[in-house]
Structure 1
Amino acid sequence: MRRRGVLTLAALGPAAAAGAEAPVAEPPPGAALPLDLRLRDAAGHGLTPGEALDGLPALFAFADYDCAALCGTALGLAAATLPGTGLRPGRDYRLVVLGLDPDDGPAKAAAMRRAWLGEGTALAETARFLAGPATALARAEAALGYRALRQGDAILHPLALFALRADGGLAAMLPELGTTPAALRSALQAAARPNGMGVIERVELLCQGLAAGHAGAVQGALAFGGVSTLALLGGGLLLLRRRERRA
């Protein structure tokens, strides 16, 4: 089993300078997540994005299910921020996550959801963590202008949150780290309006998961305002989750 445990947080600019195949999140005009993708949920049941949204706007993210240190932390921070919006999961919106590695199936999707959303809450019960084959992932990425770079066991990808309308159309895109409750609320409210468009921010944070054994610490510069604080907060969130599992 492959495990990716070392992460790099970097600016998009230097990554883009390395070549045309740099990771990027640049949604095209009219971007929309295809609703007919054949995916599976964390229980292993077949589920399309249309079924996952179930007529609601959604906060959507791509994630590497093997990457707990940053992908998990980013999802945990988003989950911790959502209650501040005043919106109700399962009634006003859904949280939908799609794994980036076709080899990561429902079991890893379930483990990521349980580790960072816990159990028994409205958000945990209504969130949809999905897995799918390479063809479906490629369609999803292309439709949203999202490109992850795969190099062996490594997946370098932008940390982005997409606010989607019930029809899959993109209403807003926000950075996965540093997003405020007000920004999330505005994006989800825009997604609840037909053809509503929110603010699309340029996403410049990248997450790179590497094979275990390359190094033992989080590397790179946290060069963006507030990100250092959020990274420390995310580390505390991870420790709290570990303590909860030991209790």
Structure 2
Amino acid sequence: MPVAAQALTASQLEQAVQARPTHAQLPLQIQMNDVNDRRAPLQDWLGGVPTVWILADYTCETLCGPAISIVSNALADTGLSAGKDFRLIVTGFDAKDTAAQALTMKNAQLSPRGGLAEHSAFLRAAAPEIGALSDAFGVQPVYDREHDQYAHPAAALVVTPDGRISRALSALAVDATSLRLALVEAGQGHVGGWTDQIHLLCYGFDPASGTYTLAARRLLIATSSLSVIVLALLIGLLLRREHATR
């Protein structure tokens, strides 16, 4: 649940640091409303595809807007198809925020590219539902009463189609490659192609930075595996040619 404070101290700000969850299950039955006041359980908003979640304050004047812009532009550059391969979901921390405020942030910050407008949802919920969702994400937002804003991590959380948290990426430093790999991983073979699976072998996820980095050991394994496949195909071709000449 959000923690209220009149003046945020260093220790209170530390509470907002995200405890990165591993395969935590989201509360699928909580009710959430979009900018058109359509109300549905969280499970319906997932849409049966991997989703990227951003938790934001719709009246935030600092980092929430840029985080949405950075993540949505990176998604548009992944080469994946919005709606078919993923959806973007932004959820408000503040139960007082209105549908109009959520729509204003959507129009101001969401990338117009890649069909994201049709395949994103800017959601709101009551305080108990927001608390349950924040707990599942491992986020403890701290309320700054003086400025009527929340201190919270700027994260892009990747969720599997069945509502389990797969990865937590930095919303302010994320790139298209990391997002694509995270979505391919969350899609469990249903997103991307075989080259993406090879890249997952080559890249390792660094939880400290919230990004995928090239891992030498994985690169060696992937290169060796590819070499074995090519060698096997070459031997098979030579044997077939030898058999044909007899």
> Structure 1 length normalisation: TM-score?
0.70
Pairing partner for 2:158 from 133, 154, 163? 163
Secondary structure in 2 aligned to 1:125? coil
CA deviation digits over 1:33-84, x for unaligned, max 9?
2111111011011022211111111001100100144211110111111122
Determine the C-alpha separation between the residues in 1 that align with 2:158 and 2:20: 12
Pairing partner for 2:20 from 15, 27, 42? 27
Alignment of 1:45-124 (within 5 A): 45-117=38-110, 122-124=115-117
Pairing partner for 1:129 from 114, 122, 126? 122
Q: 1:174 to 1:106 in 2, by over 3 A?
A: same
Q: Tell me if the contact between 2:51 and 2:88 (Cα under 8 Å) persists in the aligned partners.
A: yes
Paired position in structure 1 for 2:230: none
Higher relative contact order (CA 8 A, sep 6+): 1
2:205 aligned with 1:199:
yes
Paired position in structure 1 for 2:170: 175
Give 4+ residue runs of structure 1 displaced > 4 Å after superposition: 118-121
Residue identity matched to 1:142: D
- The more displaced of 125-134 and 15-24 is 15-24
Paired position in structure 2 for 1:244: none
Q: Tell me if the contact between 2:13 and 2:142 (Cα under 8 Å) persists in the aligned partners.
A: no
Deviation at 1:151, TM superposition (A): 2.9
List gaps (5 residues or longer) in structure 2. Answer: 1-7, 190-199, 211-246
Secondary structure in 1 aligned to 2:28? coil
Q: Percent identity?
A: 31
Determine the C-alpha separation between the residues in 2 that align with 1:185 and 1:20: 31
Determine the C-alpha separation between the residues in 2 that align with 1:85 and 1:121: 10
Determine the C-alpha separation between the residues in 2 that align with 1:141 and 1:39: 14
Determine the C-alpha separation between the residues in 1 that align with 2:67 and 2:113: 21
RMSD (CA atoms): 2.6
Residue identity matched to 1:126: H
Determine the C-alpha separation between the residues in 1 that align with 2:113 and 2:15: 39
Pairing partner for 1:41 from 31, 34, 38? 34
Q: 1:181 to 1:20 in 2, by over 3 A?
A: closer
Residue identity matched to 2:180: R
Q: 1:76 to 1:175 in 2, by over 3 A?
A: same
The structure that has the greater radius of gyration is 2
Determine the C-alpha separation between the residues in 2 that align with 1:191 and 1:29: 12
Q: 1:20 to 1:128 in 2, by over 3 A?
A: closer
Secondary structure in 2 aligned to 1:190? helix
> Structure 2 length normalisation: TM-score?
0.70
2:127 aligned with 1:143:
no
Secondary structure in 1 aligned to 2:109? helix
Deviation at 1:158, TM superposition (A): 0.4
Pairing partner for 2:180 from 185, 189, 199? 185
Paired position in structure 2 for 1:228: none
